[in-house]
């Protein structure tokens, strides 16, 4: 079946540095992608999404880049803060596919003071 | 006001028992979901309901039966619980169509089967 993402890695960054979290997807038909943040003991929380007709989208302190050629998605977090520590998931979806999201395995982001 | 709320938050039960998890959303969304997150944090969709109608059933054992009495509620009943059912179960909701992609998740129910 289709799969998204890699084995759960851990990314450690210093407070104030920029973080880049990567994700690979394999379903070339997916037409939207979402990044979710999951803090310990909580449900996933929407961060930002991007449609397949875009290659970049910016939010507050976050930027998502989409490279459809290599089926790669990244989340950039500027000036990483301790509150950014969480597991980050990429997910892909297909319009008309019942809004089903296929999640990657997640990346643990640890922010060191 | 909690947008998507599910109960209980923790559930410990013995093998073979039957249990239910309840979910309610007050966002006025027309689509609700159940996701399962295993011990390795992998999230996988189980079911999706749109306006009380089942639209996604991802090869989940028949022991799992979702029930949607109205579009604001989606409950999950599990029969004959097995050790492998231990996981965190997340309810979510979204508004289908209109270009919306965001799904709102509940806090999760940690199910432990002993």
- Output the average pLDDT for chain A: 90
Residue B92 has a pLDDT of 95
> Predicted confidence band at B57 (pLDDT cuts at 50, 70, 90)?
confident
Mean pLDDT value across residues B10-17:
98
Contact A44 B40 (CB under 8 A): no
CB contact under 8 A, B90 and A106: no
Burial of A60 from C-beta contacts in 10 A (0-12 / 13-18 / 19+): exposed
The answer to whether B9 touches B109, Cβ cutoff 8 Å, is yes
3-state secondary structure chain B: CCCEEEECCEEEECCCCCEEEEEEECCCCCEEEEEEECCCCCEEEEEEEECCEEEEECCCCCCEEEEEEECCEEEEEECCCCHHHCEEEEEEEECCCCCCCCCEECCCEEEEEC
**What is the C-alpha to C-alpha distance for residues A81 and A110, in angstroms, rounded to an integer?**
10
**Per-residue confidence at A72, pLDDT binned at 50, 70, 90?**
very high
Please tell me if residue B55 touches chain A, with a CB cutoff of 8 Å. yes
**C-alpha dihedral over B106, B91, A63, A33, to 10 degrees?**
-170
| Structure token digits, residue A37 | 């943040």
Q: Which of A70-74, A88-92, A97-101, B48-52 has the lowest mean pLDDT?
A: A97-101
Question: Residue B1: what pLDDT?
Answer: 63
Average pLDDT for A9-19? 96
- pLDDT of the residue at A95: 82
pLDDT band at A7 (very low <50, low <70, confident <90, very high): low
- pLDDT band at residue B99 under the 50/70/90 scheme: low
Contacts of A107 in chain B (CB under 8 A): none
Confidence grade of residue B98 (pLDDT, cut at 50, 70, 90): low
Cβ within 8 Å, pair A98-B103 = no
pLDDT at A99: 72
Asked whether residue B43 carries a pLDDT value surpassing 60, the answer given is: yes
Q: What is the pLDDT, as a whole number, of residue B107?
A: 96
Q: From the CA of A27, how many Å to the nearest CA of chain B?
A: 16
Work out the pLDDT band at A2, boundaries 50, 70, 90.
very low
Q: Which residues of A touch B50 (CB under 8 A)?
A: 98
């Amino acid at each position: 079946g289709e799969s998204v993402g890699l084995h759960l890695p851990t990314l450690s960054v210093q407070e104030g540095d920029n973080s880049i979290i990567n994700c690979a997807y394999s379903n070339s038909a997916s037409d939207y992608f979402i990044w979710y943040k999951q803090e310990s003991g909580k449900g996933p929380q929407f961060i930002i999404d991007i449609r397949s007709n875009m290659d970049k989208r910016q939010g507050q302190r976050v930027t998502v880049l989409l490279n459809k050629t290599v089926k790669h998605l990244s989340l950039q977090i500027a000036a990483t803060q301790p509150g950014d520590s969480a597991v980050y998931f990429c997910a892909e979806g297909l319009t008309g596919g019942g809004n089903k999201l296929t999640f990657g395995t997640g990346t643990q982001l640890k922010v060191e003071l | 006001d909690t947008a998507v709320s599910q109960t209980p938050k923790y559930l410990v039960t013995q093998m073979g028992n039957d249990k239910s998890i309840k979910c309610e959303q007050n966002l006025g969304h027309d689509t609700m979901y159940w996701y399962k997150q295993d011990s390795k944090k992998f999230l996988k969709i189980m079911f999706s309901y749109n306006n009380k109608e089942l639209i996604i059933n991802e090869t989940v054992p028949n022991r799992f039966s979702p029930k949607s009495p109205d579009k604001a509620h989606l409950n999950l009943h599990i029969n004959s619980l097995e050790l492998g059912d231990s996981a965190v179960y997340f309810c979510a909701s979204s508004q289908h169509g209109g270009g919306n992609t965001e799904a709102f998740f509940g806090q999760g129910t940690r199910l432990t089967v002993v």
